[in-house]
Amino acid sequence: MGIDFTGGGTDKDKDNFENYNPWMSAKNEKETVGSIIIPSDHRTIASWKGENEYTHNDKGGLSWSVPYLSGLFALALQVNPELRQNEMVDIINQSAVTNKKGLKIINPEGIVRLAGKKEAK
């Protein structure tokens, strides 16, 4: 079983899963049902304006989610180097948090915790 990801985020406390919303327009929010939201907005990044300059972007895209996921995979593999792709998919699905809005949010702490408990096959 695979995972359907979508982007989203919040400009509030990112540790509070209740604050998350999909970044898609309200018209498309129904498409996020069953998807797991990965933070992909509200980032401060190096600016093209010059050295030591930064810019803040309120909106991002799924391309910002790829490095986020890569980092989570690296953390999970540090805890359990024997994990396989199908096991990571299970861990991500099992650890995702559903908020009061019915949105599933990726849960980094839960991923690392479950990765440590997963026995090698």
Give 111's Cβ-side CA count (13 Å radius). Answer: 22
pLDDT at 47: 85
Consecutive 10-residue averages of pLDDT for the chain (121 residues):
67 77 55 70 80 80 79 94 91 91 89 84 50
Following DSSP, what letter does each residue of 12-63 receive, concatenated? S-TT-GGG-EESS-GGGGGGGTT-EEEE-S-EEEE-TT-TT-EEEES---GG
pLDDT at 23: 63
Report pLDDT digits (tens) over 89-118.
899 999 999 988 888 889 999 999 999 987
Amino acid code (one letter) for 66:
V
Which residue, among 103, 116, 89, has the nearest Cα to 39 in the 3D structure? Answer: 103
pLDDT at 38: 83
